[in-house]
A and B are shown apart, each in its own frame.
Chain A
Amino acid sequence: MLDIQNISKTFNPGTVNEKKALSGLSLHLEPGDFVTIVGSNGAGKSTLFNAIAGAFYVDEGSIRLSGEDITFKPEYRRSREMGRLFQDPMRGTAPHMTIGENLALAYLRTAKNQHAYFSRITKKDLAFFRDQLAKLDMGLEDRMKQPVGLLSGGQRQALTLLMSTMVPPKLLLLDEHTAALDPATAEKVLNITRDVVAEHHITTLMVTHNMHQALELGNRTLMMDNGNIILDVQGEQRNHMTVNDLLEQFRVGAGKNLDNDRILLS
């Protein structure tokens, strides 16, 4: 599905601020994999996501998605096949456009004919949006004409999730997408995430700072440090793992304790 070969990225090369954010990282995902990623501050988790999504081009190495080489494909073209959620719920939706218009945008952009610039939303599409919104169980289906700016952070994040997965993407990137929400809302958004990913078998990468979540969700866990993957567990080994095992493994792999100012151990 996703095949990353030996990618490297250095920011501000040749200056005092030079920072090697990714160093020779390789990763292979099978279709339907749900991978959680943990790591210390500055380990390169978000940089890895940016590299996959195409926010910048990697200095070395290659990235393939479903067999297609996307190493030099621009970000806006990759995003037709990738959904992405950020920690900040404000980043995924347009606040002055209505819920319906935001959904229309997400829906039309994944349309088969990419040159149908003048296509519009039909009654049938609207009914479909209503059904989809009802699934979120947040009462948004009755507020389709309201601007998204009136929604709470949790509602906006749930809406962004819906926009990214309404037409199932090949790959879903979740960058601590529940970290900015209150615990109850975070739980709700996480449950929706679990359901949506399971329903469409979407290959998913999720960064989290919640160690418990990292082991409980998905089928595989990666630990990152210093621009590379230092631990990759799945299957039987992962099933028996506790949070303490995970921390111990990190210490062995990285030669230091896991250092993340937002880490949640429970």
Chain B
Amino acid sequence: MLYIIQTALELGFLYAPVALALFLSYRILDIADLTTDGSFTLGAAMSVTVCAAGHPILAIPLAMLSAAAAGFVTALLQTKLGVPSILAGIITNTGLYTVNLMAMGWTSNASLIKQRTIFHMFRDLGIGGSWYEIILAGVITVAAALLLVAFLGTRLGLSIRATGDNRDMVRASSINPTFTITVGLCVANALTGLSGALVGQAQRSANVNIGTGMVVIGLACLIIGETVLGRGSMLRGALSVFVGSMIYRLIYAVALSSKVFPIEAMKLVTAIIVALAIAAPSIKKWAAFQRRKAAARAGKGAE
């Protein structure tokens, strides 16, 4: 049981920045950023490659920077070049496949055998005993979340939020939506890259498919968290991302250890969770309408 909780906490923290990135791109900017899968892989690939070269700490910002560059390409396609936003993400994502292979030295797998990772370095400080991985992942990702919340309160952050909230208003205010969307997508992808970088070093490996389905998993975490905590301020949003991420990984860990359903089924379960959650308002509306129709018919019958 303790093992399951430890796994859920660790994975919850490691993958939380992806949900945080989707909180920014999907919830705040109202853009479904399909670059996510590719930039997660890019983050992991960069992290493992740079770590293998002997720079585990430098690997993290480099991974974030390269993922931000991927976000920049997607933003450029949709703001300046008129590519529809979903397609812009798909195009970047497709191109990233090659870039990711390149980042790993033209192989589909890269692993760290003897190289020290940031997790080893932290363990050697002697903090946290067997919880050291969870503590380090927690500290880094919570710090990233707090920075994001602080950023969203600045002038630029408020402008990004307004861009997603009311495009009409933004057009008539002195906000340049091209700029705010670009910054927003770069920051979001940097967060996704951070997650990939941490996962890469924690697993001591990266492969070209590590990010597959990441955008839907991130959305699932976001939606689960918002269902539990409700929507509200930015701080609550960030908190719900962590709660959602933990719950999702708990389900994942239980599934993994108890064999309730095969772990291969996890992606299908995730997809169904996300589809149902996003479809919920429409389903509720349809159900209410059916009830009204039934009530009207029953009323007529009684007359």
Residues of A within 8 A of B (CB): 53, 55, 74-77, 79-80, 84, 86, 90-97, 101, 104-106, 108-111, 116-121
Contact = CB atoms under 8 A, between A and B. Distances in A.
Contacts of B176: 74, 76-77
A77 B172 contact: no
A97 B165 contact: yes
B156 A117 contact: yes
A145 B154 CA distance: 16
Contacts of B161: 94, 96-97, 101
A86 B252 CA distance: 50
Given A105-B158, A108-B155, A118-B154, A95 B166 contact: yes
A85 B171 CA distance: 12
Given A105-B159, A108-B158, A120-B154, A80 B174 contact: yes
Contacts of A77: 174, 176
A18 to B, nearest CB: 24
Interface in B160-188: 161-162, 165-166, 168-169, 171-177
A2 B14 CA distance: 57
A108 B159 CA distance: 10
Given A92-B172, A97-B162, 20 more contacts: A55-B171, A74-B176, A76-B171, A76-B173, A76-B174, A76-B177, A77-B174, A79-B172, A90-B168, A95-B166, A97-B165, A106-B173, A109-B175, A110-B174, A116-B155, A117-B154, A117-B155, A118-B151, A120-B155, A121-B153
29 contacts: A53-B172, A74-B176, A76-B171, A77-B174, A79-B172, A80-B174, A90-B166, A91-B172, A92-B168, A92-B169, A93-B166, A93-B169, A94-B162, A94-B166, A95-B166, A96-B161, A101-B161, A104-B155, A104-B158, A105-B158, A105-B162, A108-B155, A108-B158, A109-B173, A111-B155, A117-B154, A117-B155, A117-B156, A121-B153
B173 A105 contact: yes
A74 B172 CA distance: 11
Interface of B: 151, 153-156, 158-159, 161-162, 165-166, 168-169, 171-177
Contacts of A97: 158, 161-162, 165
A106 B154 CA distance: 12
A84 B155 contact: no
A91 B169 contact: yes
Contacts of A101: 158, 161
Contacts of B168: 86, 90-92
A55 B167 CA distance: 13
Contacts of A92: 168-169, 172
A93 B166 CA distance: 7
B171 A75 contact: yes
Contacts of A90: 166, 168
A109 B165 contact: no
A70 B153 CA distance: 32
Contacts of A121: 153
A111 B158 CA distance: 14
B162 A79 contact: no
A191 to B, nearest CB: 23
A57 to B, nearest CB: 14
A92 B171 CA distance: 10
A75 B169 CA distance: 12
Nearest to A149: B165
A101 B152 CA distance: 11
